[in-house]
Amino acid sequence: MQQIISLKTHAREGLYDITHEIEKIVNESKVSEGMVNVYAQGATAAIMIQENWDDSVQTDVVNLLQQLIPRGVWLHDQQDGNGDAHLKAGIVGPSESIPIINGKIGLSTWQNIFFCEFDGPRQERTVLVTILSI
């Protein structure tokens, strides 16, 4: 089973919690045991599992990546000014696979699934959700 989630981003860089959308798709699938793969479609976006307790961790992720990979110093910036976004997306990675256990996503208490925007804002971003049953 596959479904696409569409979302709008509001900042150049940020983490957007998509856990509830993924949970809904898993529930609708009726899969009891298996895997859900969450894949960001786009070369300047990524998927990350991160703490969900407060926004400070998400802010820290964005701030760390901005410090490690500054804007405006990469060869690709000469084409369209988003060389840093490509590098950040490549380091974080386009997907995460999460086990489905007894019909539920196997995240711990403090984990959520985040779409990572590194080249926004965008009117539409898409995430491909693939569910495999075992």
| Torsion of Cα atoms, 99 then 59 then 54 then 51, to 10° | 20
Rounded CA-CA distance 22/26 in Å is 6
Domain that holds residue 53: 2-133
Rounded CA-CA distance 45/86 in Å is 8
Closest CA relative to residue 21, chosen from 34, 8, 46, 38: 38
- Provide mean pLDDT across the span 23-27: 98
Label residue 54 by pLDDT band (50, 70, 90).
Answer: confident
Indicate which CATH number applies to the domain containing 127. 2.60.120.460
- Provide mean pLDDT across the span 40-69: 96
- Provide mean pLDDT across the span 109-128: 97
The pLDDT assigned to 115 comes to 98
What is the edge-to-edge ordering of all strands in the sheet holding 104-105? 2-7, 125-133, 34-41, 95-101, 104-105
Q: What is the pTM of this model?
A: 0.96
Per the structure, the count of domains in the chain is 1
Is it the case that residue 20 has pLDDT exceeding 90?
Answer: yes
